Structure formats: C-alpha cells, structure tokens
C-alpha cells in the first residue's frame, strides 16, 4: 500500500483509504459531500505565483516540477503529508486537473517517493 493519486471527480472507493485533496482551490462542480475528504491540504499545493505562472503548459512541465520540488523541500505541510503514511495503510491524493500525468499531484507523489514513502503508480 502507500500513496497514490486520483482525480477528485472519480467516485470515492473504500480502497482509497485516507483521502486528501491537494489542490489550493476547491475543484469546480464538486460538492463537498461527494468528495468524501478526510483532509484538505491546501498548503501542500504549489504557491499561487508558481501555479499562475505555469498554468498547465505541458512544454514547461519540467521547469514547473523542479520549482515545485524546491517549494516542497521547504514546506512543513509536505512533511506532515509524509507522516500520514505511517498513520494510514493507503493515502489517496486527490487533484482536480484534467491531465492525469502532467499535474502537481504527480510531482508531489514522486517527491513523497523520493523521501522514503511507498508510492503506487
């Protein structure tokens, strides 16, 4: 088990374990009851400046990922998210982006793996 990512628009499942929204902004069209969140970790998402600058331009994803990893290295919320793996068998990180590969949650999942967490691809 471990950490995995999933779009918040997909239905909640028992196999999700502990569900954490990792977006700074609430996803459009999702009612809070339907999201079935255990936690909303706004502070682990990219800074507003970085998010606005990148704005999902695929060609700049590598640059975005590098800068976001630098933010995560200095982010207490990211460290707290690492601790959830010890408390829960599975932690599902929820995100709202349309692209399931090119998004901040994928970078966050890789960062968690680089810091000793068990991650599922």
Taking the model in full, what pTM does it have? 0.94
pLDDT tens for each residue of 1-58: 799 999 999 999 999 999 999 999 999 999 988 899 999 999 999 999 998 888 767 8
Residue 69 domain-assigned? Answer: yes
User: Domain containing 12: what range?
Assistant: 2-114
Give one word for 22, left, alpha or beta, with left for phi > 0 and alpha for psi -120 to 50: alpha
pLDDT band at 121 (very low <50, low <70, confident <90, very high): confident
Residue 120 domain-assigned? Answer: no
Query: How many distinct structural domains can be found in the chain?
Result: 1
* HEC string for 18-76: EEEECCCCCCCCCCHHHHCCCEECHHHCCCHHHHHHHCCCHHHHHHHHHHHHHHHHCCH
Residue 121 domain-assigned? Answer: no
pLDDT tens for each residue of 52-108: 888 767 888 999 999 999 999 999 999 999 999 999 999 999 999 998 888 999 999
């Amino acid at each position: 088990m471990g950490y995995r990512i999933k779009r918040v628009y997909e239905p909640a499942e028992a196999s999700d374990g502990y569900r954490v929204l990792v977006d700074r902004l609430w996803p459009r069209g999702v009612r809070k009851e339907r999201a079935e969140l255990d936690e909303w970790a706004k502070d682990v998402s990219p800074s507003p400046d970085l998010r606005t600058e990148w704005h999902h331009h695929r060609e700049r994803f590598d640059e975005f990922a590098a800068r976001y990893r630098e933010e995560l290295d200095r982010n207490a919320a990211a460290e707290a998210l690492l601790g959830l793996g010890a408390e829960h068998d599975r932690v599902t990180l929820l995100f709202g982006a349309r692209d399931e590969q090119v998004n901040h949650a994928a970078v966050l999942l890789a960062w968690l793996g680089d810091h000793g967490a068990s991650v599922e691809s």
